[in-house]
Every structure is written in structure tokens, then in C-alpha cells.
């Protein structure tokens, strides 16, 4: 099932959440101010205060859990870039072990392969059609490299040198698969929707508690609100690679291209 918000702007999601939380506080304050029966009931106020503390504690736990998952997956994607770069570089250097007549064509295939991988890394996940085309090109180049390796293996009487190259090529293909999988792993949208709902409900309860206590929500409430929304933006930005402020560094792949040239 396609997700509704995964391709939406992180800034727009955060701003929408901020507006909804402010609106929830205003509505909650209005309802609390009109609850005359609860205003005159000290146990009721204490119960609301206890319930609010429990909800805020649960919210803090959910935020911390979501941030931890997003940060872990961001780190995994960064490591996958380094792993793929190392795998391509190793396979490229082991071309020198093969017969000289085969080296030029293989080096050209590796250069084209690296360029396709770099082009794909510059696309956002919202550019699905272009990404699919580049991934198909990647698979085709992998097959060409593999077929060439099998041809060299059949013709070369030295299985050790060819074996080292085939092993490196296999690891390169595996590194691509790992990186592709890491790129498509993110926090399930249902978890984020539940978190958004909890944030909005918490805002309403804060406003309601202030209304029952017959005072307006303090500035500290809105400062906390802004910090929570900012944290949510960071979580969303970490969870959505290749856009926003936090992106995966492609320096290892760029350095490898420079080395090939």
C-alpha cells in the first residue's frame, strides 16, 4: 500500500502539525474554561493533572523511540554508501589481475556503472520513474560485468586471479542490494500518524488543563510546542533521505570517480 505523506515536504508536514497543535490548545482552553463543574472540583483538577503528566510522559517516550529509529537508519544508509564505494573500488582495482586485453572494456563498464550510481543518488525518492530507469540501467551493467567475468574465467587458465575478481564483483552487487534496501527502509507511516495524533491530543489536554485552572496557556507551553515540532521535523528529515537539511554524504563515491579518472 502506498503511503500518503512519504513524498510530501517535511517542512509542510511540520508546519501543519504546528498549526493543528496550536488550534488544539485553543479549543481545549475554550472547553476547559466552560467546564464550570470541574473548576469547582479539586479532585477533578488533580485527576486531569495526573492524566496530563501520563500523556506527556508517553509522548516523550514515543518521540524518543521514533528519533532513535530514524537516526539509526540514517547511520545505516551512510554506512551503505561507504560499503558500496569500497566494493566498487575493490572490484575496479582487481581488474588489473585479468589479462590486459580485457582490462580496458571492464574499466569502461565500471566507470559507467559508478556514474549511474552517482546519478541515482542525486534523485529524491519522489522521482520514482527516473529512479526506476537508473536502477534498471544498474542491473543491466551488473549483468554485463558478470557475463564478461564469466567469459574471462572460461578463457583464463589462472583461476586464482579471476576468482579474486569474481569475488569482488559479487560483493559489489551485494553492496548495491544492501544500499537499495536501506534506502527504502523508514518509519512506518502508521507509527508517525499515531505520533501526530498523540501530539495534537496532548496539545488539547494542555489547553483544557489551563482552561480549567482559569488561566491562559503560558508562553512556556508554546516554547515547548515549538521544540516538539522541531524535533518532529528532524525525525521526518532523518527518515526521508535525499531531501531536506539532512542528507547522506556521497563523498566516498565522488572520490572513487576521481580515482578512476
Backbone CA torsion sign across 181, 184, 190, 196:
positive
| Whole-prediction pTM | 0.81
Q: Mean pLDDT in the chain?
A: 86
Tell me if 121 sits within 8 A of 242, measured CB to CB: yes
d(CA 18, CA 11): 11
Backbone CA torsion sign across 66, 68, 69, 71:
positive
pLDDT(41) > 80: no
Q: How confident is the model at residue 113 (pLDDT cuts 50, 70, 90)?
A: very high
Q: How confident is the model at residue 163 (pLDDT cuts 50, 70, 90)?
A: confident
d(CA 192, CA 234): 13
Closest to 80 in 3D by CA, of 239, 259, 249:
249
Integer-rounded Cα radius of gyration of the chain: 27
Q: How confident is the model at residue 92 (pLDDT cuts 50, 70, 90)?
A: very high
Element (H, E) at 156: none
d(CA 191, CA 200): 14
Tell me if 82 sits within 8 A of 217, measured CB to CB: no
d(CA 205, CA 37): 17
What pLDDT, on the 0 to 100 scale, is given for residue 261?
78
What percentage of the chain has pLDDT greater than the value 90?
A: 33
- Give the single-character DSSP code of 218: P
Question: What number of residues does the chain have?
Answer: 261
- More confident call, 106 vs 59: 106
Return the domain boundaries, the chain.
10-260
Average pLDDT over residues 65-94: 92
Average pLDDT over residues 58-84: 89
Per-residue pLDDT tens digits for 174-221:
999 999 998 888 888 888 888 899 899 888 888 888 887 777 877 888
Per-residue pLDDT tens digits for 119-148:
998 887 778 889 899 999 999 999 999 999
d(CA 138, CA 115): 10
Q: How many CB atoms lie within 10 A of CB 86?
A: 15
Amino acid at each position: 500500500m502506498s503511503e500518503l505523506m512519504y513524498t510530501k515536504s517535511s517542512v509542510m508536514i511540520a508546519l501543519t502539525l504546528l498549526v493543528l497543535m496550536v488550534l488544539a490548545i485553543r479549543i481545549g482552553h475554550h472547553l476547559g474554561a466552560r467546564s464550570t463543574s470541574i473548576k469547582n472540583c479539586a479532585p477533578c483538577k488533580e485527576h486531569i493533572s495526573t492524566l496530563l503528566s501520563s500523556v506527556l510522559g508517553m509522548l516523550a517516550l514515543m518521540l524518543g523511540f521514533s528519533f532513535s529509529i530514524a537516526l539509526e537508519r540514517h547511520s545505516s544508509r551512510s554506512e551503505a554508501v561507504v560499503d558500496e564505494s569500497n566494493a566498487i573500488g575493490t572490484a575496479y582495482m582487481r581488474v588489473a589481475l585479468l589479462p590486459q586485453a580485457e582490462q580496458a572494456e571492464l574499466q569502461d563498464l565500471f566507470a559507467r556503472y559508478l556514474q549511474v550510481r552517482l546519478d541515482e543518488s542525486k534523485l529524491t525518492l519522489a522521482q520514482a520513474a527516473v529512479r526506476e530507469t537508473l536502477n534498471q540501467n544498474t542491473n543491466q551493467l551488473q549483468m554485463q560485468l558478470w557475463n564478461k567475468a564469466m567469459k574471462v574465467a572460461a578463457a583464463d587458465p589462472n583461476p586464482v586471479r579471476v576468482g579474486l575478481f569474481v569475488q569482488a564483483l559479487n560483493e559489489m552487487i551485494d553492496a548495491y542490494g544492501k544500499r537499495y534496501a536501506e534506502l527504502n527502509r523508514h518509519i512506518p507511516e502508521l507509527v508517525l500518524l499515531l505520533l501526530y495524533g498523540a501530539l495534537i491530543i496532548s496539545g488539547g489536554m494542555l489547553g483544557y488543563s489551563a482552561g480549567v485552572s482559569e488561566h491562559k496557556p503560558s508562553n512556556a507551553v508554546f516554547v515547548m510546542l515549538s521544540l516538539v515540532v522541531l524535533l518532529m521535523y528532524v525525525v521526518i528529515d532523518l527518515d526521508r533521505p535525499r531531501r531536506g537539511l539532512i542528507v547522506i554524504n556521497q563523498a566516498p563515491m565522488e572520490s572513487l570517480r576521481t580515482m578512476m579518472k
